[in-house]
Each structure stands twice: as structure tokens, then as C-alpha cells.
Structure 1
């Protein structure tokens, strides 16, 4: 495993961003267990609490870069929070890193990059005051698996993955963003779990080549093969969603699975532009369920085992997918995003991957 220690200490960022204002994280009342009492205002971001969702009167909440000329935007970065649902913090992290990158490299124009943080909230957030009566919310952990909303009207059956479709469609609208080249779904930890599964289940569109998924330090994977690196015969549902592909999909993915079958779903996933990143010190257990432990005992070990699975394909590592090892970093979103590798992938390098046709992938030797 080759890695390089290539991240800038975040304490130095304010000293290196003379042209741009470094944003501190605000103090916010409440917590993820009992609910956040507010969604704080953030300098440089519009807090949009009435984002419309087709098919429902309910609304969604996003932070989005303020004051940009939509016609000048070439890249959109969609970055939710993690399990704690501190979505504003992740918008701030991404904005600070973009500011540093632009200061270090004058060829980077931050006015061409729109950062959006979708706010997936839970019922406790509405009860505590962060969400209003029309805002969609999910279970505390269901949102990063693609489950349907729990409120304000559960009959709406809005998957969190439907929200991602909505946000992608927003940026792919050429009448609003005529020069958009790429969308980057950037996820760490829980959001990395979300994007790894979303990359597999979302239906193909004409613009798939423009969409990239960063999967950094996920707690578990949707495993592509039926066997596991650390099998446990006493563990039930090892190969069912969200840990596997033998059924159990949320409503959002059921139609895709029924249409493609497992083999077709694997092929679809391998053709997507997915970029894995793992901190080499991320040796915490994370998800301690027996289903996750069959993939490896730590975040890092699961990542290493999943990469080994990809490399064992008859075609080798898919040309649409990449892996970065970030030396010395643990389960730390700021240090991961601020590594040279992820700074480049998020904001600074144009991706050159071509969207390959699905029939290039025939991983028939996997135990599907």
C-alpha cells in the first residue's frame, strides 16, 4: 500500500487564506441525539428551507453557495454531514478547503464551484426547532441507507436517494447552469455509505459521465459478492441490503434490482465514477454489527478488503474507479477532505474518466 502524508494542518488555513475569509464553525444548540435547536446561518451560504420536492407539499433544506453567477459554475460539490447530521459543518469545511486551494493555486476560481450541503434531518430535529413543520425528515440512521421519509407525512414515501436525484437534476439543468461540467457527491463516514449505495442504485441518465462519487472512510459497504473476507455462519442477513445485494432493498432500489438482477446491478455500479479514500490510521471498529464485521474489523480493513475485491475482477480495477490512501489520518472528515488527494478530486482537477458501456464488465467469477 503506497501512501503519502499530504494534508495541510487545518490550524494553518486561516494564515494561508488572505484573499478569502476563513469560516469558523458556529456554536449550535442541541445535539444529534436529542435534536438540533437550529440550523445556523453560515457566511457565504444561502440557507434555503423551502427547497421544493416534486410530488409532495413537503420541503427540504439545503445550504448552497451564495452570490455566484450560475452561468459561470462548472462544478457542483454536494456534501452532506455524517451521522451527527451537522450538515452546516461540512459546508464550512468544504468552503474553507476551496478557499485554501484557490489561494495556493491562482488558476482555481472559487466562483466556478457551487457547494451544496443537503440537510437530512430526524424527527428530534423538528421537535427541537431546527426543522419547520413542512421539512422532510428521516430516521436518525435511515437517511444514509435510502429509506423513505418518516415525516412530516410518511405517506409521501420520499427516499433520501430521491433527494439526491432532485439535487443532481437541479445542477444538470442547462437552462440554469449552461456550463456545468461535473457534479461531485462527496461523502465521509455515513455520507460515504450513502453515496456508495446510491451510486449502485440510481437509474442511468444521459449525464452519468458528469457525476462522480467520493466514498471516504465508510463504516460498511454494499458488498458486491456473496462471500465475505471474514465469514460468520451465525450472522443472519449478511448478504441482504444494506450490507449485500441479496434483496432487502429500500423502495427506491427495488425496481432497479428487479429490472437488472444482481449481476446487472454489479455491472451498473462498476461503470460508475466512484473514488474511494481511506485514512491509514482509521482503525476504529465503527459499525459493530456482525454484518459489517464480516467485511473486516475496522473501517480501514473493510476498505482494504473492498479494494481487493475490485482488483480481483477479471477486468481488474474498473477504469472508472480510483483509490487514495491518506497516510496518518483516522476517522477525521476535515483531514481527509484537506488531503492533497481529496482536495484535487473535490475541487481542483477535472476528471477524465469516460462512462464505459455496461457490457465491458463481466465479473462472472464473483460469487454473486
Structure 2
């Protein structure tokens, strides 16, 4: 563990000047081949059998998600064997406000959600950064007892997790080590479809980008090079994925809801969009879909409420 993780400690002050940047920088750093990524990380248990990777949303508030993950593990009785990691995909605005070493990766705006490349210190897809983190967790010398990696996100983070599940490169090392990978996608604003079918009628002429990435498979990022649409669909349908939907996430005017025509073609609000997408997948896989949709009663667009609910605990830590 110590060979991989370098923890850099400093004071994280929240200032008024940071209103357009992230409020809190995570103090941890994960060393990657192309620089290092900011990260929040829980105290490592003696026996790490599961690693929960939680992806923040547009606010890039990794520490908030770290706390939610730790709380969910505690409620589920899994703290003794679960390591929680919350990567922080900083952007250029954050770096302009907070002092950050030149070696720390940063992206432009929200491009990290869709697999965009970092702006410094090297060009690296956010998905490639996740690849490196996940591959390292399958290293039996550093993590000899890991049996499961859970990659989860809420809202904007769920958008990233869903798209990463579409494009993510094969991890042969994990397969060889017998490490199970699960994706938990909670309340995203939209999904990546594999063809031009959409559940809501719309004007193709008035919404010409409805099938462009990140809503469809046209104009994929460089990270996806060499993968065909058929291969991506086949790979996605084989992944272990849980769609976690809040039954009260039904506000079509929610301030953080994607209201573009591309997103509206997927449904009026997040709960409907998630239900429509799951039905769409079942049509793609009529012989039976090896994925789950779990709804959380009484919870709307609230990451902590979703992950700490009994249903959220089942999605994150269940068999």
C-alpha cells in the first residue's frame, strides 16, 4: 500500500474566493504513470477485501463522497474489510484558486465526466486515470486479499461511471486475480445509448447532436480508439451494473438536471430516464439482462441519502 499511496498533508481552507472553484481540496495523492491525482481515502483496514471507489459530481466535492462511503460501509457492517477511495478530478478553475503542485492532474471544466483528457501536467483521459487506479488494486503484492472493486457515482459522478462502463478498457489482470468489478450508477442526468432509439419523440433536425458522445456513440473520445459500437455494447451488457434510482428524483426543473434536447429525449426527469434506459437495455438483451435496477423510496437527488439507504447499502455491498 505504501509503495502506491503518497499522502500529502496541507491545510485546506475554504475561502470566499473559491466560489467558482472547489471548496475543499483532498489532501491525498495517488501516484499514476502520468502525474498524480488528488484523492480522499479512508483509513486502511487490516484486511482489505473490497475497495469502494466513489466518484463525485459536478461540485468535485470528493471529501463529501468519502464521508458518505465510509458511513454506508459502517451502516452495512463492512468497515472492517472496505477501503474507500474518492478521486478528485480537479479542473483549471480549482487550480487557479488553490495552491496545487504542478504534478497534479487537472481537467477543463467538466470534461472529466465524459473521458476528456487532462490539460496538465500530461494529457491523460480521466478514464485512463481510473484504469490505472483499478489495475493497481488488482496487484496481489499490494492488495493480496481484494475480492471486489465497486465503482460508484451519484449525479454527475454517475454520468462518469455509466460512460466509463461503456468505454472502459478490459482489465485482464483483475480477471486473472479473480477480482469482481461492480458499477453502481445513482441518479445520473443522462445515459449513453448504443443506437439512435430514444424513449421520447423529438425533432432530429432540432437536436442534431442527440447521438453524439456523451449521449450516443458518435464522435467518441480518443480513449475509445479501436473499439467498435458492437464491441462496446457487448462488453457493457456483460458488466455487473446496478442502477440506483431515487423515487423522488422527479423534478423536471431541478437546477442540476440536464435540460438539453439530447437529455430530454431520454425522459423528463432522472427517475424516468433511468427506468427508460433499463427497459431499453432489456430490449437489447431479450434473453435476460444480468444487471439490476434498484429504486430508493423517499429519496430524491441526494447522494448521501442514496448510498446510506438500505437499498444503497445493498447496491454497494450486497452479494
TM beyond 0.5:
yes
TM-score (norm. length: structure 2): 0.87
Does 2:127 align with 1:150?
no
- The C-alpha deviation readout for 1:13-39, integer Å capped at 9, x for no partner, is xxxxxxxxxxxxx98435875213642
Name which of structure 1's ranges 132-141 and 184-193 shifts more when overlaid on structure 2.
Answer: 132-141
User: 2:267 matched to which residue of 1?
Assistant: 296
Alignment of 1:259-298 (within 5 A): 261-285=228-252, 286-298=257-269
* 8 Å contact from structure 1 (residues 230, 294) kept in 2: yes
- The C-alpha deviation readout for 1:72-103, integer Å capped at 9, x for no partner, is 2110000021110011110011112222332x
- The C-alpha deviation readout for 1:160-199, integer Å capped at 9, x for no partner, is 0011101101211111111110000011111111111111
User: 2:90 matched to which residue of 1?
Assistant: 121
Distance 2:303 2:18 in 1: 17
User: 2:151 matched to which residue of 1?
Assistant: 185
User: 1:65 matched to which residue of 2?
Assistant: 42
Shift in CA distance, 199/228, structure 1 to aligned 2, threshold 3 Å: same
Alignment of 1:53-92 (within 5 A): 53-54=32-33, 56=34, 58-69=35-46, 72-92=47-67
SS at 1:137 equivalent: coil
* 8 Å contact from structure 2 (residues 135, 171) kept in 1: no
Alignment of 1:132-171 (within 5 A): 132-151=101-120, 153=121, 156-171=122-137
**Structure 1 residue 138 displacement after superposition:** 0.8
Does 2:160 align with 1:174?
no
* 8 Å contact from structure 1 (residues 283, 299) kept in 2: yes
Alignment of 1:326-337 (within 5 A): 326-337=296-307
TM-score (norm. length: structure 1): 0.76
Shift in CA distance, 184/128, structure 1 to aligned 2, threshold 3 Å: same
User: 2:213 matched to which residue of 1?
Assistant: 241
* 8 Å contact from structure 1 (residues 38, 130) kept in 2: no
Name which of structure 1's ranges 141-150 and 201-210 shifts more when overlaid on structure 2.
Answer: 201-210
Shift in CA distance, 32/268, structure 1 to aligned 2, threshold 3 Å: farther
- Number of residues of Structure 1 aligned to a counterpart in Structure 2: 298
Larger Cα-atom Rg: 1
User: 2:7 matched to which residue of 1?
Assistant: none
* 8 Å contact from structure 2 (residues 215, 262) kept in 1: yes
SS at 1:79 equivalent: strand
Distance 1:87 1:304 in 2: 27
Distance 1:187 1:68 in 2: 22
**Structure 1 residue 317 displacement after superposition:** 4.3
Distance 1:298 1:140 in 2: 24
Shift in CA distance, 29/93, structure 1 to aligned 2, threshold 3 Å: farther
Distance 1:38 1:276 in 2: 29
Over aligned residue pairs, what C-alpha RMSD do you find? 2.0
What 5-or-longer segments of structure 2 have no aligned partner? 1-11
SS at 2:171 equivalent: coil
**Structure 1 residue 338 displacement after superposition:** 1.3
Does 2:181 align with 1:211?
yes
